[in-house]
Amino acid sequence: MKSDTQHDTQRVKGADLLQIRGLKIEGNSDGVWHPIVKGVDLTLKRGEVLGLIGESGAGKSTIGLAAMGFARPGCRIVDGTIMFDGIDLRTASEAEKRKLWGARIAYVAQSAAAAFNPAHKLIDQTIETAVRDGIRTKDQAVADSIDLYRRLQLPNPDHIGDRYPHQVSGGQLQRAMTAMAMSCRPDLIIFDEPTTALDVTTQVEVLAAMRNIVEQFHTAAIYITHDLAVVAQMADRIMVLRHGLEVEEAPTREMLKEPKKDYTKTLWAVRSLAKDESISDDVTLSIRNVDASYSGVVKVLDNVTVSLPRGRTVAVVGESGSGKSTLARAITGLLPPSKGEILFNGKALPKALKDRDKDTLRRIQMIYQSADTSLNPKQTIRDIIGRPLEFYHGVHGAARDRRVAELLDSIELNENYIDRLPTELSGGQKQRISIARALAAQPDIIICDEVTSALDQIVQEEILTLLMKLQKDTNVSYLFITHDIATVRAISDEIVVMHRGKVVQQGPKSQVLNPPHPAYTELLLSSVPQMDPDWLTNLLAARAEAKAKV
């Protein structure tokens, strides 16, 4: 066994740990190999954290895995060298790489819930590599893991390891995975979007825990994310990637202060999208004291009162489990409320979907988060957008096609798309089609459930801009469900903050986003990462201070 002190003395800060030169990776789709990474150079020194940032398809995860000498099935490394501490990972045998993996290079995956084996206890998975490689005995490894759990501020560190993955929360799992990666004291950890699946309030704790432990053990890391503000907290240097190529690379502060390339500047610009709020008293939908529950036991909505003015946008914001999507289900009649009433244009809305007439159905439309699953892959755009035209408005044949073309025009797509299938379109284009399908009914209200969450930032901005334009043209009201504060800032007139099924606060945007806040709103808003590299440090200090006062 190597002791920690010995291990530490071996490390010389500043020496190169990882050198990637001319890395080219290809991916296979439908039997054709096409380039994913097109020649990337990367150098990482011991104890240094490099942030890899880019949109989906930039190749950042692929590069992260290649830094371990690994390519996912369907991918292959075709050119370049990957030198890890004097070992060429491209020519190393599987057995040689296996000795490095887990022991000297560790991986932290995006979804801890999926990356932990559901059949084994956390502790057994944490110590697996250390024990198998003979780095520690089982008892030593268990004791060490408990120490790591404690350093990572997991609750009840002595016993949390005896739990199975499904028994702990997502944020705790992500920290347990960091402990697992740390258990052999690796030289390098690859963090692959480790906080993307977490709520902002949880993200703060996880980021702080990961940053601490990497600093404590002086571990080099590659931190992969699409979120600039997050990477600003974690990385010493940032590399921006696009389409498998490096755009630019610089130390974090330098990069944030003055990005050189236009592409980087556009990444920065998205977050500044904002519209002026406009308040109206002309309420179209009024939800009054609504309770709803799936099992009949636990209330998912608890005495919820929300009103939606005509031609305005109300953003419903909250963490997962706050009941915001359930609110949408209650409004659409998919989950009839157990108590309370919903008034629509002054009249009571029948609770259950089947009791509503066609005209009421037409007036309330919905757009979902995933256009991939909400658009039928076997139907052409003509059928997808044409269906509500036929169903609600009785428009058929050439008249319908004309109307579909108009709708395509309004969502800024060429009318040639009419005969395409959803699979031929990009993520942003698919979401546009979802919007057109909702608009085709000429609704009074569109409920948007996390419609931009799965999209890249630049595409998000385009979709949000489009939604705002459409609102101006058609005076439609949006109930905009999201967990992302930047999106809220961009699109809303009013904001509803939800927490554990209750409405914490509703009011005009300027009022909700500016102090004084109720405690939960304060927690939520302060947890949103800022583009300031000192944000996390300052936030933690401020919270510690506030705690000390109490």
Partner 1 sequence: MHPVLKTVLQRLGLGLLTLFVVSVVIFASLEMLPGGFAEAILGQGATPETVAAFNHQVGLDRPATVRYLEWIWNILHGDFGYSYAGLGGNIKRSVSELIAPRLYNTFFLAIMTAVVAVPLSLFLGIMAALYRNSWYDRIVNTITLTTIATPEFFIAYLLMFFFAIKHRWFYSLSTVSENTPLLEHMYRAALPALTLTLVIVAHMMRMTRASLINLLASPYMEMAQLKGVPRREAIVKHALPNAWAPIATVIAFNLAYLVVGVVVVEVVYVYPGIGQLMVDSVSSRDMPVVQACALIFAATYILLNLSADIVSIVTNPRLLHPK
Under the rule (CB under 8 A), what is the footprint of partner 1?
A: 68, 70, 72-73, 98-103, 106-107, 109, 111, 114-120, 128-129, 132-133, 163-164, 166-167, 180
CA pair distance 400, 389, nearest whole angstrom? 7
* Least CB distance to partner 1 at residue 295 (A): 15
- DSSP, collapsed to helix, strand or coil, labels residue 549 as helix
Please state, as a whole number, how many other Cβ atoms lie within 10 Å of the Cβ of residue 173.
25
Q: Are 313 and 506 in contact (CB under 8 A)?
A: no
Which residue, 111 or 286, is less far from partner 1 as judged by CB?
111
* Least CB distance to partner 1 at residue 107 (A): 4
Which residue, 74 or 251, is less far from partner 1 as judged by CB?
74
Maximum Cα–Cα distance for the chain, whole Å? 79
* Least CB distance to partner 1 at residue 189 (A): 11
Which residue, 166 or 354, is less far from partner 1 as judged by CB?
166
401-434 as b/e: b if 16+ CB within 10 A:
bebbbebbebbebeeebbeeebeebebbbbbbbb
Q: Are 17 and 187 in contact (CB under 8 A)?
A: yes
Which residue, 173 or 498, is less far from partner 1 as judged by CB?
173
CA pair distance 449, 433, nearest whole angstrom? 15
Which residue, 186 or 309, is less far from partner 1 as judged by CB?
186
Task: Give the position of tokens 């044949």.
Answer: 397
Which helix (H) or strand (E) segment is 236 a member of? none
Which residue, 99 or 403, is less far from partner 1 as judged by CB?
99
Q: What are the residue ranges of helices labelled H in 101-251?
A: 112-115, 122-132, 138-151, 170-182, 200-216, 228-234
* Least CB distance to partner 1 at residue 117 (A): 4
* Least CB distance to partner 1 at residue 30 (A): 18
* Least CB distance to partner 1 at residue 114 (A): 4
Could you give the angle at which helices 381-393 and 427-440 cross, rounded to 10 degrees?
A: 20
Q: Are 457 and 293 in contact (CB under 8 A)?
A: no
Which residue, 114 or 399, is less far from partner 1 as judged by CB?
114
Q: Are 63 and 40 in contact (CB under 8 A)?
A: yes
Tokens of 46: 């011991």
* Least CB distance to partner 1 at residue 188 (A): 12
Tokens of 9: 């003395």
Which helix (H) or strand (E) segment is 45 a member of? strand 32-45
Which residue, 116 or 223, is less far from partner 1 as judged by CB?
116
Which residue, 169 or 201, is less far from partner 1 as judged by CB?
169
CA distances from 416 to 172, 421, 425 (A): 49, 12, 12
Neighbouring C-alpha atoms within 13 Å toward the C-beta of 308: 29
Which residue, 161 or 337, is less far from partner 1 as judged by CB?
161
Tokens of 271: 């977050």
* Least CB distance to partner 1 at residue 362 (A): 42
